[in-house]
């Protein structure tokens, strides 16, 4: 199954992606996670992306298109993929069409996570992230031990782009460049709107239902 998660910053794309991939047996391809790893590793890609990311601005299309083209060619993505945070602009969506066409594949579902702005701002103001596995934690989704990742014991950090002024910039980028992508995919009949407000388990159940993947709660 080939899936895109759309939704504004803080909608829960990363949180839900990390759960859903286990059910579907497909990899999460998060351009944000890949870029943050490149920044942490100090690679040439990371050096190009860091200032833009820290400012809450989008990285140029050519850079992320190249990342996704390479990731979709990997053996792990052969049986499906979940794109989290890509595409984010119309040129990225058309590049994805071209990449998939070249590989004889198509998008099955676009999950559009809907969350009101005041909830997004509240979530992001309380978010801590694992620098190693990128798992996000928040006020309603805390780690078992304060400040420590449940999965790998790493010390959690606050993402630089979660400062309030950067969050505002990210919202502006989303509204001006990304929100219109629901219309782009709606014409193809693949968009499923999902209410992203509720507990993480509730939202997960809605996504599973929208994907028609399994009956909720059957094999957890
Ligand atoms: P990216 O990493 O993709 O960030 P984003 O889209 O801004 O989204 P977030 O990761 O902030 O939110 P999320 O929806 O994943 O929410 P989460 O699950 O963490 O991109 C970062 C940057 O990289 C961009 O600004 C840009 O510079 C660059 N970039 C990446 N992709 C790019 C592209 N394609 N083109 C150009 N540039 C690109 O949840 C948020 C919080 O809420 C967490 O604390 C979580 O624990 C909590 N939470 C989640 N669900 C619930 C719930 N149901 N109830 C209560 N709390 C919840
Ligand atoms: Mg995320």
Query: In the prediction, which pLDDT does 218 show?
Result: 37
- Residue 159 is a catalytic residue: yes
Q: Is any ligand 1 atom within 6 A of the Cβ of residue 56?
A: yes
Strands 2-6 and 109-114, how do they pair?
parallel
- Interatomic CA distance for residues 180 and 214, integer angstroms: 29
Query: In the prediction, which pLDDT does 215 show?
Result: 46
Where do we find the tokens 């920044």?
Answer: 39
Name the closest-CA residue to atom 25, ligand 1.
Answer: 56
Q: Is any ligand 1 atom within 6 A of the Cβ of residue 31?
A: yes
- Residue 127 is a catalytic residue: yes
Q: Which ligand is nearest to the CA of 135?
A: 1
Cβ-defined contacts of 206-209 (< 8 Å, 24+): 207/16, 207/20, 207/111, 208/20, 208/23
Q: Is any ligand 1 atom within 6 A of the Cβ of residue 64?
A: yes
Q: pLDDT tens per residue, the chain (220 residues)?
A: 999 999 999 999 999 999 999 999 999 999 999 999 999 999 999 999 999 999 999 999 999 999 999 999 999 999 999 999 999 999 999 999 999 999 999 999 999 999 999 999 999 999 999 999 999 999 999 999 999 999 999 999 999 999 999 999 999 999 999 999 999 999 999 999 999 999 999 999 999 999 996 544 433 3
Q: Is any ligand 1 atom within 6 A of the Cβ of residue 8?
A: no
């Amino acid at each position: 199954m080939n899936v895109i998660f759309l939704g504004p910053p803080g909608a829960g794309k990363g949180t839900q992606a990390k759960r859903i991939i286990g059910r579907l047996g497909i990899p999460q391809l998060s351009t944000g996670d890949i870029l943050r790893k490149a920044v942490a590793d100090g690679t040439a890609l990371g050096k190009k992306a860091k200032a833009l990311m820290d400012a809450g601005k989008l990285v140029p299309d050519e850079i992320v298109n190249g990342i996704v083209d390479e990731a979709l060619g990997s053996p792990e993505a052969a049986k499906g993929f979940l794109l989290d945070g890509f595409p984010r602009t119309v040129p990225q969506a058309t590049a994805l069409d071209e990449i998939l066409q070249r590989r004889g594949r198509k998008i099955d579902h676009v999950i559009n996570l809907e969350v009101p702005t005041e909830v997004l701002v509240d979530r992001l103001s309380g978010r801590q992230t694992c620098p190693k596995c990128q798992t996000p934690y928040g006020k309603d989704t805390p780690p078992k031990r304060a400040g420590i990742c449940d999965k790998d014991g790493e010390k959690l950090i606050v993402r630089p782009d979660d400062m309030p002024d950067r969050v505002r910039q990210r919202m502006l980028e989303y509204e001006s460049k990304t929100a219109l992508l629901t219309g782009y995919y709606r014409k193809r009949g693949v968009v499923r709107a999902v209410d992203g407000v509720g507990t993480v388990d509730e939202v997960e159940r809605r996504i599973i239902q929208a994907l028609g993947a399994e009956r909720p709660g059957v094999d957890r």
